């Protein structure tokens, strides 16, 4: 799903009155913290300049990742969503994505940073998303409930005990579906495997991305991650000293349902390897990992050419 033009225009307006040098410094700091996973439970963007820089360089990628995770999750869930709760909402990327994908106008956002919250409110308003914002930390307790609960790029920052407590509250808040999104790194994936098992222990069903609730078949040192592409604006390229007109955001996610769900039978784990006359697919299925060579003679060749990492195969 494309990053909303209304938010892009609003970000351009906000940066007109900001010092470019300060914005670039904030953007560099945010990128370094993200790459090194060094936030240590503290939001990497707190000042007004930091938050504006975050909106310009990180929000498009976050929106792309959460959108794709939600698309895959909702397809496997199949139920109706009439309310949304975004915990650790930041500048509202997840809330806007979820509202657009579900056509739901009953949205609550919880965010601890005042500047993040204020900017998130304005982004929701300019995109027509009717959201109620509450200023509170993820670890302060969650009393709200919703059909769909989202938590993106937050749990990975917490120490283990706080993470487990927050996860329990998130699960209790989700009346139908809980979707958690984190960076697509080996470190975050190890945490995600722990989160997955904890959700299973709580009695929830894994809707996506896993084809089964068996132990993860990936060997030690390997990790499951997906990619979402975000188009870069002129401002985005300027702040990141980038030439490429897009950014590929790697992420991992888990979707857990309260009740029955429709997990895919086979998930494509890696970018398909396309050669003349054949395509190699790395697949994850209920029985474990599998590599499949699809040739031109196969009736699935056309589907394999259109396939991508994260999708089902054959398409459902």
The DSSP line for 271-291 is --EEETTEEEEEEEETTEEEE
What secondary structure letter does DSSP report for 250? Answer: E
pLDDT of 42 reads 47
pLDDT of 41 reads 43
Of 236, 232, 229, 211, residue with least CA distance to 287: 211
Q: Give CA–CA dist 6/245, Å, rounded.
A: 19
CB 184 within 8 A of CB 225: yes
Q: Give CA–CA dist 191/197, Å, rounded.
A: 10
% of the chain with per-residue pLDDT over 90: 81
Side-chain-facing half-sphere of 15: CA atoms under 13 Å? 27
CATH, domain range 5-257: 3.40.50.150
pLDDT of 116 reads 94
Q: Give CA–CA dist 280/273, Å, rounded.
A: 5
273: tokens are: 């390897």
25-43 pLDDT tens trace: 888 888 777 767 654 444 5
CB 148 within 8 A of CB 174: yes
The DSSP line for 228-276 is EEEEPPHHHHHHHT--SSEEEEEEEEEEEESS-----SEEE-S--EEET
pLDDT of 2 reads 94
CB 75 within 8 A of CB 211: no
309: tokens are: 């990492």
Q: What does pLDDT average to over the chain? A: 92
Within the chain, residue ranges assigned H as helices are 5-15, 20-36, 48-57, 59-77, 93-102, 114-126, 160-173, 186-201, 234-240, 301-306
pTM (2 decimals)? 0.94
CB 260 within 8 A of CB 176: no
Q: Give CA–CA dist 53/29, Å, rounded.
A: 10
Three-state SS for 152?
strand
12-24 pLDDT tens trace: 999 888 888 888 8
pLDDT of 43 reads 52
pLDDT of 40 reads 47
Output phi, psi for 276, to 5 deg.
-65, 110
Residue spans per domain, the chain: 5-257, 266-306
**Grouped pLDDT means (10 residues each) for the chain, 316 residues:** 95 88 87 65 70 93 97 93 97 97 97 95 96 95 97 92 96 98 94 96 97 93 93 90 91 95 94 94 95 96 93 85
pLDDT of 37 reads 65
Output the furthest CA–CA distance in the chain (Å, rounded).
60
CB 33 within 8 A of CB 215: no
Output phi, psi for 22, to 5 deg.
-65, -40
245: tokens are: 């007109």
């Amino acid at each position: 799903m494309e990053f909303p033009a209304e938010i892009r225009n609003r970000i351009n307006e906000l940066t007109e009155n900001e010092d470019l040098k300060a914005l670039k410094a904030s953007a560099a700091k945010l990128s370094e913290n993200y790459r090194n996973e060094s936030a240590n439970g503290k939001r990497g963007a707190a000042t007004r300049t930091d938050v504006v820089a975050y909106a310009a360089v990180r929000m498009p990628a976050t929106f792309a990742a959460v959108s794709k995770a939600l698309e895959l999750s909702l397809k496997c869930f199949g139920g109706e969503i009439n309310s949304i709760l975004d915990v650790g909402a930041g500048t509202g990327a997840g809330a806007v994505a979820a509202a657009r994908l579900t056509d739901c106008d009953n949205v609550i956002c919880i965010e601890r940073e005042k500047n993040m919250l204020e900017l998130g409110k304005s982004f929701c308003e300019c995109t027509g998303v009717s959201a109620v914002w509450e200023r509170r930390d993820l670890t302060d307790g969650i009393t709200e409930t919703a059909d769909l609960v989202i938590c993106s790029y937050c749990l990975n920052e917490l120490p283990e005990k706080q993470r487990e407590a927050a996860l329990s509250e998130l699960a209790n808040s989700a009346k139908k579906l809980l979707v958690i999104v984190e960076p697509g790194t080996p470190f975050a994936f190890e945490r995600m495997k722990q989160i997955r098992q904890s959700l299973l222990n709580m009695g929830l069903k894994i809707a996506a991305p896993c084809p089964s609730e068996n132990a993860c078949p990936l060997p030690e040192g390997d990790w499951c991650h997906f990619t979402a592409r975000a188009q870069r604006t002129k401002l985005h390229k300027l702040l990141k000293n980038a030439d490429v007109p897009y950014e590929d955001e790697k992420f991992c996610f888990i979707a857990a349902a309260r009740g029955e769900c429709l997990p895919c039978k086979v998930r494509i784990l890696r970018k398909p390897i396309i050669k003349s006359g054949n395509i190699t697919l790395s697949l994850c299925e209920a029985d474990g990992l599998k590599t499949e060579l699809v040739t031109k003679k196969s009736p699935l060749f056309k589907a394999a050419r259109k396939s991508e990492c994260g999708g089902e195969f054959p398409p459902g």
